[in-house]
């Protein structure tokens, strides 16, 4: 088997035992990037020389008897918005020009665990949209069908993993940006509980909305990476209660008999899921019942999160834009977003955060129960409304037009950024159009472990297909 096709947990095990060298794995992934990325545009920067040097150092350290970290020799790609020392943190645009002086803490932890950073991945400017298209970076394409979007905003990360260029890529999720591209590209993408992963060097990511995390081909890979990167620093505005067990242990554990509620209803009025997505929810509900869970259709009674989400969206974009070295180089649409958000003062943001707490209290009654409806342990829903659309979504129009195109893509994801609940995109198979299909699992705040156990059970019962040759 080509080392580039191995999951991260297998790479780490085999390089630690000496069955495989970190250099061989890095070379296999760099070869894949050279051959496959020109048609996909997943990478903005490829750190080939640095990756080769780091892999050689890891091999030498192992030969000298030094202990191997849990990600020993695992190639990892990093989304453009996260600092990698020596690389310009572009946020998907051209408004910065000075390379970062140090790694963000999440990158430092990855390196400390033995990961080999191979490059940075594309995103729309400031991650505003669920389509990975930008003036500076061009269009990123879906490896399953290059005429379609990989989603966004972590679309470069998703395309890199789905095309077998790396086993793991780090993304960010402020409204669905890990889950949406995972759904579009047939990957596993878990948005963790708010505060689970440090936001260093920033105090927050779009205030209460954003978090970082991996996109992977397997549940176990996601658990492995989260056990490395989770945890806070003193400067983080948000923190999370530590789980009672490791994520790896959770991914390998039987979830027990859970109460699972399913619904195809949307949190955004007027948005309905594509037939393929609605059918996937129903089929997954049936499978979960076969696996012994208490499964029932429920009315989620979603609250309206607009007053909480919109100010944080505008405030987050404006805060990041204010930190850019060359404001005039921002895309015209981004400058329009900045102008449209001028009403979002500090006072407005504080009110939005308070509104978010009220939304969270209401939304989490899904788990505690409504009058006449018992609570559940996990909510099952679609991830996105439409099938992955054709590329070029951002070719025309300003902020309002982009927001209208984004609306059906985030109708099932953005609420859980407002509330801070963990939520995962779990692949279910391939539809008649040849593109992946997925469902979303949502858990209680700070209960990623239940989602990992349940996701792994689904993965065992219904293994999802991986794209083996995107050039075929």
For 69-108, the pLDDT digits (tens) are 999 999 999 999 999 999 999 999 999 999 999 999 999 9
Do residues 320 and 283 lie in contact, with contact meaning Cβ atoms separated by under 8 Å? no
- Would you call 374 helix, strand, or coil by DSSP? strand
Sheet with strand 259-262: strands edge to edge: 43-46, 116-121, 75-79, 168-173, 211-216, 188-191, 423-430, 436-443, 378-382, 259-262, 294-297
Residue 464 has pLDDT above 80, yes or no: yes
Q: How confident is the model at residue 469 (pLDDT cuts 50, 70, 90)?
A: confident
Span 283-322, pLDDT tens digits: 999 999 999 999 999 999 999 999 999 999 999 999 999 9
Q: How confident is the model at residue 468 (pLDDT cuts 50, 70, 90)?
A: confident
Q: Which residues are catalytic?
A: 79, 153, 177
The crossing angle, in degrees rounded to 10, of helices 48-63 and 8-17 is 50
Length of the chain as a residue count: 472
Span 4-38, pLDDT tens digits: 999 999 999 999 999 999 999 999 999 999 999 99
Which two structure tokens, joined as six digits, stand for 51?
Answer: 């990756």
Partners of 231 in the β-ladder: 197
Pairing state of beta strands 188-191 and 423-430?
antiparallel
Residue 472 has pLDDT above 70, yes or no: no
Q: What confidence score (pLDDT) does residue 308 get?
A: 98
Do residues 254 and 453 lie in contact, with contact meaning Cβ atoms separated by under 8 Å? yes
Nearest to 8 by CA among 77, 63, 106: 77
Partners of 116 in the β-ladder: 75
Span 186-208, pLDDT tens digits: 999 999 999 999 999 999 999 99
Do residues 127 and 31 lie in contact, with contact meaning Cβ atoms separated by under 8 Å? no
Span 408-422, pLDDT tens digits: 999 999 999 999 999
Q: What confidence score (pLDDT) does residue 1 get?
A: 86
Span 418-450, pLDDT tens digits: 999 999 999 999 999 999 999 999 999 999 999
Q: What confidence score (pLDDT) does residue 129 get?
A: 98
Span 377-388, pLDDT tens digits: 999 999 999 999
Q: How many alpha carbons lie under 13 Å from residue 365 in its C-beta half-sphere?
A: 15
Q: What confidence score (pLDDT) does residue 455 get?
A: 99
Q: How far apart are CA 101 and CA 58, in angstroms?
A: 23
Q: What confidence score (pLDDT) does residue 470 get?
A: 74
The separation between CA 47 and the C-alpha centre of its own chain, rounded to angstroms, equals 22
Q: How far apart are CA 396 and CA 401, in angstroms?
A: 8
Q: How far apart are CA 472 and CA 470, in angstroms?
A: 6
Phi (first) and psi of residue 162, to 5 degrees: -60, -35
Span 32-63, pLDDT tens digits: 999 999 999 999 999 999 999 999 999 999 99
pTM of the entire predicted model: 0.98
Instruction: Name all domains of the chain by residue range, CATH numbers in brackets.
Output: 3-461 (3.90.1300.10)
Triad 252, 254, 258: Cα angle to 5°: 135
Span 250-281, pLDDT tens digits: 999 999 999 999 999 999 999 999 999 999 99
Phi (first) and psi of residue 195, to 5 degrees: 85, 0
Nearest to 310 by CA among 255, 352, 248, 361: 352
Q: What confidence score (pLDDT) does residue 294 get?
A: 98
Strand blocks (E) in 158-298: 168-173, 188-191, 211-216, 259-262, 294-297
Q: State the sign of the Cα–Cα–Cα–Cα dihedral 353, 358, 360, 363.
A: negative
Q: How confident is the model at residue 151 (pLDDT cuts 50, 70, 90)?
A: very high
Which two structure tokens, joined as six digits, stand for 30?
Answer: 């760099």
């Amino acid at each position: 088997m080509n080392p580039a096709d191995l999951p991260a947990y297998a790479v780490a095990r085999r390089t630690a035992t000496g069955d495989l060298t970190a250099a061989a794995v890095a070379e296999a992934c760099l070869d894949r990037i050279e051959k496959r990325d020109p048609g996909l545009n997943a990478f903005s920067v490829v750190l080939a020389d640095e990756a080769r040097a780091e892999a050689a150092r890891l091999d030498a350290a192992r030969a000298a008897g030094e202990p191997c970290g849990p990600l020993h020799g695992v190639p990892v790609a990093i989304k453009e918005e996260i600092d990698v020392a020596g690389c310009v943190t572009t946020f998907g645009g051209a408004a910065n020009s000075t390379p970062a002086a140090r790694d963000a803490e999440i990158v430092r932890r990855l390196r400390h665990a033995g990961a080999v950073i191979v490059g940075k991945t594309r995103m729309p400017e400031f991650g505003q949209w669920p389509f990975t298209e930008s003036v500076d970076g061009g269009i990123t394409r879906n490896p399953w069908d290059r005429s379609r979007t990989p989603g966004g905003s972590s679309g470069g990360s998703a395309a890199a993993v789905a095309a077998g260029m790396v086993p793991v890529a780090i993304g960010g999720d402020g409204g669905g940006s890990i889950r949406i591209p995972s759904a579009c590209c047939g990957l596993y993408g878990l948005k963790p509980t708010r505060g689970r992963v440090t936001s260093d060097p920033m105090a927050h990511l779009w205030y209460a909305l954003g978090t970082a995390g991996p996109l992977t081909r397997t549940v176990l890979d996601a658990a492995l990476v989260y056990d490395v990167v989770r945890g806070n620093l003193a400067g983080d505005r948000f923190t999370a209660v530590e789980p009672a067990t490791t994520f790896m242990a959770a991914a390998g554990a039987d979830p027990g008999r859970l109460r699972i509620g399913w619904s195809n209803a949307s949190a955004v009025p007027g948005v309905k899921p594509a037939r393929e997505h609605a059918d996937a929810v129903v089929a997954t509900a049936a499978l979960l019942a076969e696996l012994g869970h208490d499964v029932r259709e429920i009315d989620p009674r979603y609250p309206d999160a607009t007053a909480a989400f919109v100010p944080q969206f505008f405030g987050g974009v404006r805060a990041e834009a204010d930190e850019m070295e060359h404001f005039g180089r921002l895309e015209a649409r981004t400058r329009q977003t900045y102008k449209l958000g001028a009403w979002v003062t500090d006072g407005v943001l504080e009110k939005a955060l308070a509104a978010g707490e009220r939304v969270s209290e209401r939304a989490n009654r899904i788990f505690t129960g409504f009058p006449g409806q018992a609570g559940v342990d996990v909510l099952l829903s679609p991830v996105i409304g439409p099938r992955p659309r054709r590329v070029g979504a951002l070719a025309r129009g300003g902020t309002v037009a982009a927001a209208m195109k984004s609306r059906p893509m985030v109708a099932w994801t953005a609420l859980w950024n407002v509330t801070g609940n963990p939520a995962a995109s779990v692949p279910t198979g391939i539809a008649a159009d040849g593109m992946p299909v997925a469902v979303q699992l949502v858990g209680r705040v700070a209960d990623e472990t239940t989602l990992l156990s349940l996701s792994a059970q689904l993965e065992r019962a219904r293994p999802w297909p991986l794209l083996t040759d995107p050039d075929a």
